[in-house]
Amino acid sequence: MKAVILVGGEGIRLRPLTCNTTKAMVPILNMPFLEYLLRYLKEHGIKDVILAMSYLPDRIQERLGDGSELGVHLSYAVEKQPMGTGGAIKNAEVRLNEPFFVLNGDVLTGIDLTAMMSRHRKVKPRVSIALTPVDNPTIYGVVETDASDMVKRFVEKPGLEEVTTNMINAGIYIIEPSVLGYIPPSIPSMVERHLFPLLLEKGEPILSYPSDSYWIDIGTPEKYLKAHHDLLSGEASALAAYWNNFDQGVQMGGSCAIDPSAEIEGPVLIGEGCTVARWAVLKGPAVLGPRCEIDEGACVEGAVLWQDVKVGKRALLRNCIVAANCQIGEESQVLDNCVLGDNVVVGKNNKLAPEIKIWPDKRITSGTMSY
């Protein structure tokens, strides 16, 4: 069975984390997001995966190659320009000759793909769409269904007045290849705004697959952080297997040097080669990427740090995201929902928050920034 993963979006809402990294490759618990998706597909017996992409394709190809290290067969369908979700699938059409899965490249979920495919085979619609309940449907695609789970209406990013249900498109489809004839070649189009409404108009059956499995779209910094907190604290425990059974305690990679006076309260994931100096505090849910250095008396709480981050003496990082190679000066504070891109240098005695976003390579001199 084949799957197409849509990884061509620029990840604008996740900036500055996606200035140098595609959304599909941002680390989740120190593993590229796409690697989780491939493990998830493999778990359901889907090993033939086409990555539909346009933005920064080389980064993904260099890292994942033909997929053999992960036990899957990866191929790439690269668009010359972003073709939209529909155009991206159309671009892979020649490789698709039986019902196939399509996954948005930013959904973290345990939706049962095997059961979804059984249902699809039994009911025989042209498309199946997985649904999940959410609090705010307006930022997703809302899907109205009838009593037998057939889709009646699909409205992408509806206004509040158009919201009739909290069940939304979970970004996972099974598509019959014959449907691809409805997608125009060579021009950008979206399955959500064009293909699905068109199929409904033509009376082509679309089946929904409602699920109450854990589900989140990691496409904004708030959701990215929440996904970490959920995985670490056990809210999404069904997904722990994809991270080698992370167990909500303190998990540490090799070659770490942790001073015995440091205080570590799980759930905390510490990447390989990290150092944590005396009197430092790590308070879960938190993640240190590989080779992070936490200096004397510094505190990291509820935060996600990518690789090679240096945290100065008595600095405080709380509920924030700090990308690769950043340096946080002595006594500085980076607080709630603050996001630092790669290579940001924060001098001593700064206070950053809430929700401040700092673009890669910026230098903030000592004591200049506060709120």
Find which of Mg ion, ligand GDD, none residue 99 binds, CB within 5 to 8 Å per kind.
none
Cα(178)–Cα(97) distance, rounded to whole angstroms? 9
Strand 345-346 relative to strand 333-334, pairing: unpaired
168 binds, options Mg ion, ligand GDD, none, Cβ within 5 to 8 A by partner type? ligand GDD
Q: How many residues bind Mg ion (CB under 5 A)?
A: 3
Of 21, 30, 169, 307, which lies in the binding site for ligand GDD, with binding defined by CB under 6 A? 169
Distance CA 201, CA 284 (A): 50
Whole-angstrom distance, CA of residue 10 vs CA of residue 201: 31
Q: Is 124 a catalytic residue?
A: no
Q: Does 85 bind ligand GDD (CB under 6 A)?
A: yes
The kind and range of the H/E element at 34 are helix 33-43
For the CB of residue 192, give the shortest distance to ligand GDD in the complex, in Å. Answer: 4
Site membership for ligand GDD, residue 275 (CB under 6 A):
no
| Longest CA pairwise span in the chain (Å) | 68
> Which stretch in 35-43, 79-87, 186-194, 211-219 sits in contact with Mg ion by CB under 5 A?
211-219
8 is an interface residue for Mg ion by CB under 5 A:
no
Characterize the bridge pairing of strands 327-328 and 345-346: parallel
Distance of alpha carbon 42 from alpha carbon 47, whole angstroms = 5
* Interaction of residue 219 with ligand GDD, rule CB under 6 A: yes
Closer Cβ to ligand GDD, 113 or 277, answer by number = 113
Instruction: Read off the DSSP letter of residue 83.
Output: -
Residue 290: name its binding partner from ligand GDD, Mg ion, none (Cβ under 5 to 8 Å by kind): none
Q: Choose among ligand GDD, Mg ion, none what residue 228 binds, the Cβ cut-off being 5 to 8 Å by kind.
A: none
171 binds ligand GDD (CB under 6 A): yes
325 binds ligand GDD (CB under 6 A): no
Q: By C-alpha distance, which of 356, 355, 350, 354 is closest to 369?
A: 350
SS3 182: helix
Q: Which helix (H) or strand (E) holds 223?
A: helix 221-233
Binding site for ligand GDD (CB under 6 A): 6-9, 23, 52-54, 79, 82-85, 88, 104-107, 140-141, 156, 168-169, 171, 192, 217, 219
Cite the active site residues.
157
